[in-house]
Chain A
Amino acid sequence: MQPSSKPTVVIGAGPAGLCAAIELKKAGAPVILMDENAKPGGQLFKQIHKFFGSKEHKAGVRGFDIGNELLAESLQLGIDVRLNTEVVGFGKDHKVWAVENRSRSYIVDADRIIIAAGATENSLSFEGWTLPGVMTAGCAQTLINVHRVLPGKSVLMVGSGNVGVIVAYQLMQAGADVAAIIEAAPNLGGYGVHTAKIRRAGVPFFTSTTIIKAEGKESVERAVIANIDSRFVPIADTEKVLEVDTICIAVGLTPSIELASLAGCKMMYVSELGGNMPIHNEYMQTTDGSIYVAGDIAGIEEASTAMEEGRLAGIHAAWSMGYMSAKEMQSKTEQTRERLGALRQGIYGFKRYTAKERVVQRGMTK
């Protein structure tokens, strides 16, 4: 088979998109990597903590260093990275409609498309939620770790999943105090090692607790929290007032499926993975065989799983266009799946593993 000369367009230059583009380029396939942001790396450059996993997953390496390594590799390979470039739609036969710098619009005739658009943080509405000082945890993390701006001095974190506890820790590293972390569920959500390092810094956790309102004249001056019952209804007379100037919301993420939806990929709802997401098979191929998904768009997980999913998509796409032998594709896929499998074990990973299996089952029998 004569390999196609049309490029693969990878949308999103986060950990998944970068790894997909790297695998394609290594196989000799033409690839264009597009990202709407001014810098590649997705959320990696906000991750100042050391990653978990094993050596193969870059455990112990801080997120921004992993970002720098991936960027260096993509530069060395000479990948065509187009920044400030939004993909806004698709034409027939996988024509990708891109807008550069919000001024120049053009079409790329793509052979394969890999959508690695990531996810969006969930919001939470309560009285006073529009006051300045209420923000998502990811927003606070961007402010401190990218822009070096401390959003406030005293923070209430709403949500005890890994995002909530990691950002709470980083806010303390940046010089803020964390007044409390509250969690609606009866048990804390994040890794115990993360909650433990926050607790030893004197930060209290309140489970079965929600935020009732934010108060303040011009911006947040205090937060009112209360216990909730097993149906998540606030219990009377359990209200507590916390003097805080910042309220961070860390109540989960939702896959950013807009582009996959526009492209006609079939969706399914998987609550454990963040909601609606494109159905895909074990090679990350959607119901449109020429379109792949990888990373948080294919179910909310972590940067380390996103990188492996990106590799799976890139490897399979390269093979499907004739840039890789079946044998090589299978062996690389097997190695990647082994690393991915290692990350989906244990008390946290197993839930995601079984949910992913459900998606892949649908993807194989579509």
Chain B
Amino acid sequence: MNDRISLKINGAPSLEELQKAGMLPTIEELEKKACVCIECIEEIPCNPCETSCPQNAITIGYPITNLPVIDREKCTACGLCIPACPGLAITIKSIQGDRARIRFPWEYLPMPVRGDKVKMVDRMGQVLCDGIIIAAQTAVRNNKTVVLTAEFPRQFIEEIISIRR
């Protein structure tokens, strides 16, 4: 529990807690390609991330309370795991020059559309910067979870998790 003080008191994990769990990419990895980020650091019985991945890049194994392990070589950043995660804990992030992108799950109304100017928030719900929606994917297989892509200044890449509701 000591590794999860922020999660169990503030409700959201700190960057340190997440890095300890080893499911976040490094800045160098983010500069190379889009990377899946899984913010799931408690042993709960759940494995749709593993079964949703066509590349077998996420492993939970047995028992299903294991934390996910990402194989970054295999991951193509297809994003199928984002709406598959019942905990809305998966995003895909990337860096291009001085801009960063995040693909994240969204289940609130009104539904943002491409071109919307949005406020980017960190894990504690604080607005850190402005962003713009560059894609909104509503495929049927997402089962009503929309996958949004937002672009924002690169310096906030590690903290940004979503947009203001």
Q: How far is the CA of A286 from the CA of B88 in the complex (A)?
A: 39
Kindly supply a per-residue 1/0 record for chain B positions 1-39, scoring 1 wherever the CB is within 8 Å of any chain A CB and 0 otherwise.
100100111111100000000000000000000000001
Kindly supply a per-residue 1/0 record for chain A positions 153-182, scoring 1 wherever the CB is within 8 Å of any chain B CB and 0 otherwise.
000000010000000000011010000010
Indicate whether B140 reaches chain A with its CB closer than 8 angstroms.
no
Select from chain B the residue with minimum beta-carbon distance to A175. Answer: B109
CB-CB contacts below 8 Å: A311-362 with B: 342-349
What is the count of residue pairs linking A and B with beta-carbon distances less than 8 angstroms? 141
- A342 close to B63 (CB less than 8 A): yes
- B89 close to A346 (CB less than 8 A): no
- A52 close to B46 (CB less than 8 A): yes
- A345 close to B9 (CB less than 8 A): no
Q: Min CB distance, A342 to chain B, in Å? A: 5
CB-CB contacts below 8 Å: B120-165 with A: 121-126, 143-145, 161-162, 164-165
- The one of B12, B145, B165 in contact with A196, judged by C-beta atoms closer than 8 angstroms, is B12
Q: How far is the CA of A57 from the CA of B45 in the complex (A)?
A: 10
- A59 close to B89 (CB less than 8 A): no
Select from chain A the residue with minimum beta-carbon distance to B164. Answer: A202
Q: How far is the CA of A52 from the CA of B11 in the complex (A)?
A: 19
A→B interface (CB under 8 Å): 49-55, 57, 59-62, 160, 172-173, 175, 181, 186-188, 191-203, 205, 207, 342-349
Q: How far is the CA of A345 from the CA of B161 in the complex (A)?
A: 29
- B51 close to A54 (CB less than 8 A): yes
Select from chain A the residue with minimum beta-carbon distance to B9. Answer: A207
Select from chain B the residue with minimum beta-carbon distance to A186. Answer: B9
- B39 close to A349 (CB less than 8 A): no
Q: How far is the CA of A202 from the CA of B47 in the complex (A)?
A: 27
Question: Cβ of B12: which chain A residues have Cβ within 8 Å of it?
Answer: 195-196, 199-200
B→A interface (CB under 8 Å): 1, 4, 7-13, 39-48, 51-52, 63-65, 84-89, 107-109, 121-126, 143-145, 161-162, 164-165
Q: Min CB distance, B85 to chain A, in Å? A: 8
- A62 close to B165 (CB less than 8 A): no
- A346 close to B143 (CB less than 8 A): no
Select from chain A the residue with minimum beta-carbon distance to B4. Answer: A192
- A197 close to B87 (CB less than 8 A): yes
- The one of B84, B89, B123 in contact with A199, judged by C-beta atoms closer than 8 angstroms, is B123
- A53 close to B45 (CB less than 8 A): yes
Q: Min CB distance, A67 to chain B, in Å? A: 15
- The one of A55, A160, A191, A195 in contact with B51, judged by C-beta atoms closer than 8 angstroms, is A55
Q: Min CB distance, A19 to chain B, in Å? A: 18
With contacts A202-B125, A348-B44 known, what are 7 further pairs, Cβ within 8 A? A50-B143, A59-B47, A199-B124, A205-B9, A342-B45, A342-B65, A349-B65
Select from chain A the residue with minimum beta-carbon distance to B84. Answer: A60
Question: Cβ of B88: which chain A residues have Cβ within 8 Å of it?
Answer: 193, 197
- A345 close to B7 (CB less than 8 A): no
